[in-house]
Structure 1
């Protein structure tokens, strides 16, 4: 049950709770880490001070290794203000039709500065730093390695896995098409990088074996139980990263309507969505997705993400899951609502049982 990744990090189980930005809490991260997995703080939306505060809370709750995940973005963004005005008008009209009183506004910044977030991550000094949306610079990679922080890069193709290996990543997390939330694609169009996990894992393993044999592969996308973890391992993965499986945990900060909707979700309801953030992401096709005009969906990330934030907060407060960004993976209805530590134990029990099953 040991793996090269688990051994390097010093964790008991080859299990990572995905860094789901906006849904992870220090309590969730600590619970998973204390149970022997690797808890991950999704910090992509957090200001630097909040990253440090939440990292401190995690360390108060746990002395085990944990991870912080960030989105690799430029520090500054140019926005087409005419398109922004049109999007605001359409979003405000949608909120009015749906009975929500909150309206859009122009934020001081479209997103936190990545360089400032990165500095906070270095100061927090987690055992692991994971990244999506792009590759960090050589200087940033050196800064992390000087602090003995293990670097995990997110890839959606074998070419992206190699790009991370060339950049000096210690591990690569391959994100299959089944994965929920934002796509980590950075070398291709998102639509061209929707590769099923059980095709992607062996492709990435083969590519890295030839190019960077010491870089382990982590499997992510649609894994909801211990059998799925073992299947990924058989294909060459050193660990499995699960996100949707933890969304229904009480320690997760996902809105309660979102948690309830996951359990009733049909697999054909889960689709690729751009209308909430401007970047391809996987989640439930709900009222918002069906009502959102294409003009709004055409705004880039993080501009659209900032504009829809008031709507998402108001929808959560009103119990309107149908207006939320209900991110989830392909097998969302397999989620088990139970405390995170119990879920980790259950997953590893299933994993052990699957290992003992005879081959027929």
Structure 2
């Protein structure tokens, strides 16, 4: 193990006995939802580093030296994958070349959904992109893809593809914008998979197994933490489902199409999205179409996001009786740490339930 942290903790006598002098792996996570899940598994042992800080765009963040150092020192890197943060693939390949790298979106247990193609999300479109995503996952990626990504993440393909454009500053705020847009094209995989509670629960297990493999001395604690975290997610999901019962069947519009995993998990349906991607503004034609959707479907709720153009939401709302609420798929205002993930799910559920 290349880079080791030593941590003594007084959480419990059992933890002190098992972890006080144990070699604890250095771990990095890309975004706050992943960081929260890793923190829950590592609770009582250590704390992962966060590469993309709260409030920064996961699509175009320019890493600070401390964040680059976290990758350089990492034994394990957990990230959603290049479909969410294509700019991060190069730094991971160069800085974390000795680390075990796990793209959670490509984990075998992950339920996957494809990017929705139309402005209005109708029933026919759901038949193409809704349930049955496990089968689509197998067809799209296959077992060889999963094994190859985890075990051969730093192969020659990545070295060749990312040999340029990643200097000591690791890019600029606008780097790879076109690549991000490609990740949201019709027929591509929707990267916002953390917003499905079932995926969060599955990822806890993936994280625990990876940590146990590199740190077997603390394996029992990782597994116990993962199981407890799964129970916490289940409790939060049950509470969210109860709140959403009151708005079941009521159409709503989102700022950008980031919530279909949440919708699928809780059996609700957005009517459409103002923007396909959060990396660029929608066209006038798309604005006109979503306005028509709001009027035709008598949409009562339009969900905005704190970091994006509120004027676009006002344009869509103009002349309607629809209300609005702020929802954040990254939980910028939440405290990072072991309890972050269930709180994030609850915040999304509260925003939708309270919008009517």
TM-score (norm 1): 0.34
Larger radius of gyration: 2
TM-score (norm 2): 0.35
